[in-house]
Amino acid sequence: MSRKSKVFLESGVFQEAAIQSLKKLSFRSQAKNPVMFIVFLGALFTTWIFFKDLYGGVYSSFNLQIGLWLWFTVLFANFAEAIAEGRGKARTDSLKKTRTNIIAKKLIGGDISPVPGTTLRIGDIVICEAGDSIPGDGEIIDGIASVDESAITGESAPVVRESGGDRSAVTGGTRVLSDKITIRITAEQGNTFLDKMIALVEGAKRQKTPNEIALTMLLSGLSFVFLIAVISLPFFAEFVAKEGGQHANLPIPILISLLVCLIPTTIAGLLSAIGISGMERLIRFNVISKSGKAIEAAGDIDILLLDKTGTITLGNREARAFYPASGVDEKYLADVAQLSSLADETPEGRSIVVLAKEKFGFRERNLSEMEGEFIPFSASTKMSGVDLKKQGRVIRRIRKGAGDAIRIYLYNFSQKISPEMEDVIQRIAQKGSTPILVAEDNKLLGVIELKDIVKGGLKERFASLRTMGIRTVMITGDNQLTAAAIAAEAGVDDFLAEATPETKLKKIREQQGKGYLVAMIGDGTNDAPALAQSDVGVAMNTGTQTAREAGNMIDLDSNPSKLIEIVEIGKQLLMTRGALTTFSIANDVAKYFAILPALFGSFYALGGTEGPLSVLNLMRLGSPQSAVLSAVIFNALVIPALIPLALKGVAYKPLGADKILKRNLTIFGLGGIVTPFIGIKLIDITLVLLGIV
C-alpha cells in the first residue's frame, strides 16, 4: 500500500485523543462500558471520601493517591478508545478534503451546461474530459479513459475505466487523466461512495459486534461476582478477626482498590480500541468494511468463492483467433463476427471488432444504416447478436455466445455442431481460453477464441490461504474444460463451471447450510446476490455500483488476493481480543497475592509474629498500603502499555488452531501471571524508597 501512514505516532492525534479522554468523563459515556463504569464510580467515591475527610481536618495522602490512580485508570481506558478513533478520523479528514465543489458538465438536450456537482441527481448525464474531476458516482455509458483514483485508494497508478463490462463504475472526486467519457450519475450527494466511506470510517459511530457484546456481558458477569465478594468481605473479615481476638480495619478506599484490581479492567479498557483498530487496519490495506461483524467473520471463514472474470483473471478477455467451420471462409467468419459485435460495448466485443479489423481490414459499420437491431447479451440466454433487416423484414439473424447456448439455438433449427468443430471447441477450452460460437440463421460459421489472462502471483497467495485452512473455489460461466484449465493455472482448490447468478447463490446457501462460513469476491452486477448472501462479501472497487452496494467490504485496489490480508486482520482481531482477555484475567492472580495477604496477613498473629495468612505474601511487599497502591498503579499503567498491541494486533502466523491456542496461552496466560508479580514488586520498591507510603 502506498498509504500506510503511522498515524499513531502523530502528535496531533495524541493531543486530540487526550482532549477526548477528558470529554468522555461523563456518566453517559462511561455507562457504555459496565466494567469501567465500576472504576469510574470507585474513583468518584474515593475522591468524595478524600475531600470529606479533608473538610473534617484529616488529610490522607494514601486516599489521595488511590483516587488519582483510579482516575488515571479511567482516563487511560478513554485514551485507548480515543487514540483508535483518532486514527480513523485522520483517514476521514483526508477523504473529506477530496469532497470539493466540482463544476459538472451536464448534458441537457444535446447541449453541455456547467452546473455545481451538488445539484446532480440520479440519471443525469455528464461529460468528463482530460483534467476534469468526476462530479459524482456513476456508470460510464460511452468512452474509455485513464482515471486517477489516488484521492480515494491512495494508489498513484492510474486505472482504466470504460463503458460496458465490469469496469464502468467511477467515483466522485477522482480525476480523468486522458480521453473523454460520458457518465450517468447513479448516486445523489450525501449518498455517494465517498460519503459512505467517510461514514464507515467514522469510528465513533461503530456498532459493537455480537462477539464483542457477548464478551462485554461475560466481563460484566465476572465484575458482578467480584463486586458481591468485596461487599461481603468486611463482614467476613470482622467475623474472622473476632475469632482471633482482633479488630478488622478495611477502609472503603482499600475495598474499592481491591475491587478495581480484581475486575478485568485491562481488557475492558482496551475492548473498544481493539474493535475500532481492526477496521482501521483494514482501511490501511485499502479495504473498507461496512461492519465490524464482517471483519470477525473474515477471521473464521472456511470457503472462499472467487468470481473468475476480473477477480482471478484480468477481466478483459481478448479475441485471439477465428476458427471457421468446414466450408466457411475465415474472412467471412470475421466479417459476421464483427457485425455481431459492433454494438457490443463489452471489452470482449470490442476486441472482436479490433481483431477483424487487424486481420482483414474491416472497417466499423453503422448498424442503424443497415437497419440492424442489436440483441444484447443476457445471463439467461448467454448470447448476443444482431438482426439485419430490409424494409422492416429480418433477412439475417447473427448470434454469438457460449457453446451450450448456440447448441440450443441451432437445435431449434434441427441443426447440430459437427464433430470437427466440437474438437476445435474442446482444444480451445483445454488451453484455458473461452470458445465463442458464431451462427448465422441456422448455420454454425465457426468459433472465436477469447483468451483469459490470469493475474500474476495468485497461485502462491492461494497456497497461503490453504495453509490457513481456507478452501478456494473459482466460479465461472465457462464450460467445464475451460474452467478446469484456468483453475489449474490459478491454483484454486475447486471450481464451479457454467455458473449463473442462481447457481452461485445456491452454492453459498448449500455451504452455509453445512455450517461453513463463506466469503465471496466479485465485481459484476451478476455477483450481487451472492455477495449479499455471503458471510463476507468483498466487492472490487472497479466493479459495478450494484456489486459495491451488495458487499459488506469494498477493496479499493480491486485485488482478489487481498483476502489474505482481510483474513489475517480478522484473525488478528479475534486473537487480540482473546489474548488480552486471557492476560487480563491472569493478572488477577498476581493482584490477589498482592492485596489479600497485605490485608489479612496480621490475622491470628501471636506475640508480634506474622499470622499464618502472611505465607501468601509471596512478593514480600513493604506494607499493606504500599501493596494496595502498587497493585492499583500497575493496574492503571498496564492499559497504556498494551495500547500499541491492541492497535497493531497480535502477530498472526498460518498455524493450526491448536498450536495458536497453546502459543497464546503460553505468552499471554503465563505472561499475564508473571508480569504483574514483577511489575507490582518493582513499583512497591520504588514507593518505599521514595517514602511515598
CA distance 145 to 142: 10
Rounded percentage of the chain residues whose pLDDT exceeds 90: 28
211, 554, 661 from 668: Cα distances, Å: 20, 34, 10
Active site residue 307: yes
Q: What is the pLDDT of residue 277?
A: 82
pLDDT grade, residue 518 (50/70/90)? very high
The average confidence (pLDDT) of the chain is 84
594 has a pLDDT exceeding 60: yes
pLDDT grade, residue 206 (50/70/90)? low
Write the pLDDT tens digit of every residue in 632-664: 999 999 999 999 998 888 887 776 667 778 888
Q: What is the pLDDT of residue 100?
A: 62
Q: What average pLDDT does the segment 235-247 reach?
A: 70
pLDDT grade, residue 205 (50/70/90)? very low
Is 619 one of the annotated binding-site residues?
no
283 has a pLDDT exceeding 90: no
Dihedral through CA 49, CA 55, CA 58, CA 64, nearest 10? 40
CA distance 146 to 153: 15
Answer for the pair 636, 73: CB distance below 8 angstroms, yes or no. Answer: yes
CA distance 507 to 496: 9
Which of 235-239, 476-480, 609-613 is modeled with the greatest confidence?
Answer: 476-480
CA distance 345 to 341: 8
400 strand-pairing partners: 384, 438
Please tell me which residue, 652 or 302, carries the higher pLDDT value. 302
CA distance 273 to 370: 66
Is 382 one of the annotated binding-site residues?
yes
pTM of the shown model = 0.69
CA distance 210 to 223: 20
Is 544 one of the annotated binding-site residues?
no
List of domains in the chain: 11-91+203-284+568-690 (no CATH), 121-188 (2.70.150.10), 287-310+455-556 (3.40.50.1000), 314-453 (3.40.1110.10)
Catalytic choice (195, 307, 452, 535): 307
Is 384 one of the annotated binding-site residues?
yes
Q: What average pLDDT does the segment 538-555 reach?
A: 83
* One-letter amino acid for residue 183 of the chain: I
174 has a pLDDT exceeding 60: yes
Write the pLDDT tens digit of every residue in 83-103: 887 776 666 666 666 666 788
Please tell me which residue, 466 or 75, carries the higher pLDDT value. 75
pLDDT grade, residue 6 (50/70/90)? very low
Element (H, E) at 40: helix 34-55
347 has a pLDDT exceeding 50: yes
Q: What is the pLDDT of residue 557?
A: 76
DSSP-assigned letter for residue 670: I
Q: What is the pLDDT of residue 30?
A: 92
Answer for the pair 636, 260: CB distance below 8 angstroms, yes or no. Answer: no
Answer for the pair 631, 261: CB distance below 8 angstroms, yes or no. Answer: yes
Q: What is the pLDDT of residue 5?
A: 41
Q: What is the pLDDT of residue 203?
A: 45
Is 378 one of the annotated binding-site residues?
yes
367 has a pLDDT exceeding 80: no
Is 195 one of the annotated binding-site residues?
no
Least confident of 147-156, 169-178, 354-363, 585-594: 147-156
**Strand pairing class (103-108; 125-129):** antiparallel
Helix (H, G, I), strand (E, B) or coil at 125: strand
> What counts of helices (H) and strands (E) characterise the chain?
23, 20
Q: What is the pLDDT of residue 248?
A: 65
Q: What is the pLDDT of residue 1?
A: 40
Mark out the alpha helices in 501-562 (DSSP H runs): 501-513, 528-533, 545-550
Q: What is the pLDDT of residue 4?
A: 42
List of residues 6+ apart from 304 with CB closer than 8 A:
465, 470, 471, 472, 473, 518, 519, 520, 521, 563
Q: Would you state the cell numbers that stand for residue 508, as one nine-digit string?
A: 453459498
- Max distance between CA atoms of the chain, in angstroms, equals 123
Q: What is the pLDDT of residue 165?
A: 66
Least confident of 318-322, 379-383, 610-614, 689-693: 610-614
155 has a pLDDT exceeding 70: no
Please tell me which residue, 618 or 665, carries the higher pLDDT value. 665
204 has a pLDDT exceeding 50: no
Is 400 one of the annotated binding-site residues?
yes
109: left (phi over 0), alpha (psi -120 to 50) or beta: left
499 has a pLDDT exceeding 80: yes
